[in-house]
Amino acid sequence: MMKALTLLLSFFVGHITYAQEPVKKHEETIPLKVIDTLYLKGQIDAFKSYHKYHDAGTITLVASLLSPISGLVPAIVFSEIPPKPSNLNCPNMELFTTSVSYYRGYTDQARKIKNNRVWKSWLIGLGVNASIAVLAILAQH
């Protein structure tokens, strides 16, 4: 076992004392996080079934093709708005309406999917505009 030299300062007495103390290992047991299977099932079902995010992505793409700055506005707005319940296309409505965990997993994953699509559309518009700008600069030289 390793021992560490510990410097103990005694302000009351006014001198320095050296003492040998063993170094204690702090072994913490991290409890395993219990995975909620209904939450996970909701996420998987959203990944398989949620496909009605195209309007937000298309509007963001068109706006960002006009200008990346103008495309930033719908990207921010659409990423803040959760998916509409009518667009969720949930395959298991009974579980969706009765289980909070399943509902939370499905809606969280659907929102992630929508946000990823919106920001990818904005990045595509940004890339197209940057490419056009680079080509215009190269064409002038």
* CB neighbour list of residue 83: distance below 8 Å, 6 or more residues apart: 50, 52, 53, 107, 110, 111, 114
Chain center to CA of 29: 27
C-alpha span between 94 and 127 (Å, rounded): 43
Query: Does a structural domain hold residue 3?
Result: no
Domain membership flag for residue 70:
yes
The answer to the question of residue 7 being in a domain is: no
Query: Is 1 within the bounds of a domain?
Result: no
Look at the chain and report how many structural domains it folds into. 1
User: Could you tell me if 86 and 50 are in contact, meaning their C-beta atoms sit under 8 angstroms apart?
Assistant: no
Show the domain range for 101. 34-131
Q: Is residue 80 part of a domain?
A: yes
Inside any domain, residue 118: yes
Residue 16 lies in a domain: no
Can you give the pTM of this predicted structure? 0.68
The per-residue pLDDT for range 66-94, each reduced to its tens digit, is 998 999 999 999 999 999 888 898 998 89
Structure tokens at 44: 């998987």
DSSP letter, residue 85: G
> pLDDT of 56-65, one tens digit each?
899 999 999 9
